Amino acid sequence: MRVITKIDSASRKTRRFFLLWARQFCLIVLITAAEGIVFCLMGFRYQSSLLPVAACPTDLSIARQGNYAALSMRMTGSLGKENWRDVVVIDLLRQDPVWLGVNYLSPHHVAIAPDANSLAIASGDGAIYSMPAPFNNSPAGGGRKARLFVSSGETDLSHLVFAPDGRSIAAMGQRLFSVWDWPTGRLLHQHQYKRTGLAARSIIFSADSRTIASLDENGDLWLCDARSGASIQVIAINETPHHDVVMNFEAQRVAIVREPLISVFSFGAEDAIWSAACDSPIIG
């Protein structure tokens, strides 16, 4: 009798075990079926942590007529990690964006030519590439190939800008300031900063493309000939650190943006004409 009782007890435990797992299996099947129905009706609901959930612009360039713009974008995943970078060109009149699919270049900066026919793209390793702009019914994306324009000799370019006439392009980094002929890539002139890490983060051409203005590593305003690099004038401003510089050659004025002030200077004067405090943080 004891042997039979033990066998019955073991049999009941086995049945309960298999019954429990059968219920769990049925529940899993029901949940899977429900998810399958939702997938068919609404599409896939989940997103991998590797997929981009935020796109942050890191650079902006606008063509001369103001009808086209180019932005370098940094995509960030749901885990907060950078996934890839790309360039988007926007028809501002039609509000039609075109992604170029140049993530393989790791683009950090972009400049659109004044006539909006071509782009200059600076990669993370300091190389600068040229690429036709995807307009006028031209093929975009993979059909348009980026070609190496020059190697800047810098691994951390801070600015890339075309001259208004489109004949030259300038780039600034932590060590070098360089200007090349566009589109040949011939180096027009190059200057090395005496101290690294303090290079200007902004550069601007005059409206006639004949003069370049920037701040050197000491915070002084430097004016030079755009084609030869010959120094025209050095204006001691000594305003560091700064975020940006805006020039008006016709009015002989320069505006220096630095946290938390915006100051306007006259060419040749060391004292600001006026300064104003900013109510919100300055984004450089």
Give the mean pLDDT of 126-132: 93
Chain centroid to Cα 209, Å, comes to 25
State the chain's mean pLDDT as an integer: 77
- Look at residue 239 and tell me whether its pLDDT is greater than 70: no
pLDDT at 10 over 70: no
* pLDDT at res. 238: 58
Instruction: Give the mean model confidence (pLDDT) for residues 188-194.
Output: 83
Torsion, CA 203, CA 144, CA 140, CA 116, rounded to 10: 30
Q: What is the pLDDT of residue 46?
A: 44
Question: Which of 282, 237, 238, 283 is CA-nearest to residue 260?
Answer: 282
Mean pLDDT for 221-245 is: 75
Predicted local distance difference test score (pLDDT) of residue 40: 58
Q: What kind and span of H or E run contains 86?
A: strand 82-91
Which residue's entry shows tokens 């120094």?
231
Q: Tens digit of pLDDT for each residue in 85-111?
A: 999 999 988 888 888 989 899 999 999
Q: What is the pLDDT of residue 47?
A: 45
Give the pLDDT score at 213.
Answer: 82
Given strand 203-205, what is the order of strands in its sheet? 203-205, 211-215, 221-225, 231-235
- pLDDT of residue 50 exceeding 60: no
Does pLDDT of 245 surpass 90?
no
Spatial contact of 77 and 53, defined as CB atoms under 8 Å apart: yes
Q: What are phi and psi of 103, to 5 degrees?
A: -60, -25
Angle, CA of 223, 224 and 228, to the nearest 5°:
175
Give me the sign of the Cα torsion angle 230, 236, 241, 242: negative
Least confident of 13-17, 73-77, 211-215: 13-17
**34-48, 69-83, 223-237: segment of lowest average pLDDT:** 34-48
Q: Which of 58, 65, 52 is closest to 88 using CA atoms?
A: 58
Q: How many CB atoms lie within 10 A of CB 94?
A: 8
Structure-block tokens of residue 187: 């180096």
Pull the structure tokens for residue 243: 């975020």
Instruction: Specify the pLDDT at position 36.
Output: 67
Q: Tell me, what's the pLDDT at 283?
A: 42
Most confident of 12-16, 138-142, 177-181, 269-273: 177-181
Residue 168 is predicted with a pLDDT of 96
Q: How many helices (H) and strands (E) does the chain have?
A: 1, 20
- What pLDDT is recorded for position 21? 74
Label residues 14-44 b or e (16+ Cβ within 10 Å = b). Answer: eeeeeeeeeeeeeeeeeeeeeeeeeeeeeee
Nearest to 85 by CA among 59, 110, 61, 103: 103
**pLDDT reported for residue 282:** 44
Residue found by looking up tokens 């902004």 in the block: 202
Element containing residue 31 per DSSP (H, E): helix 2-42
pLDDT at 206 (0 to 100): 86
Q: What is the DSSP string of 179-198?
A: EEETTT--EEEEEE-SSSS-
- For position 141, what pLDDT does the model report? 42
Taking the CA atoms of 90, 132, 107 and 214 in sequence, report the sign of the dihedral they define. Answer: negative
